[in-house]
Amino acid sequence: MEAKATLRFVRVSPRKARLVVDLIRGKRIEDARTILRLANKASARTVRKVLDSAMANAGQTGVIDVDSLFVKSAFVNQGTSQKRFRPAPMGRAHRYRRRTSHITIVLDER
């Protein structure tokens, strides 16, 4: 039985979040939490919260043994981009995008 958690519209670039999510895919829960705790990336804290939420979702069903869980799939999709403007020389403005992400983690028993 699978347990799933999704965090949507996170203010982190999908490209940067994928670097962290790739580290935990296929790992046991304890190993994944340790990796995220020691990872020197800003998005590691957010991914760890999603992982904890998926663990709590697995515990709510009562059928799944939380100790035997592993990360079946973990992926980051691109969310909407907020368009912002930065002042530029000679009275102009340059547009830039603040990207958002949708982080999904699926756990399963091994």
pTM exceeds cut of 0.85: yes
- Residue 20: predicted pLDDT: 97
The ranges of the chain with pLDDT < 50 are none
- Residue 1: predicted pLDDT: 82
| CB 76 within 8 Å of CB 21 | yes
First-to-final CA distance of the chain: 10
What dotted CATH number matches 3-109?
3.90.470.10
- Residue 59: predicted pLDDT: 85
d(Cα 50, Cα 106) in Å, to the nearest integer?
10
- Residue 103: predicted pLDDT: 98
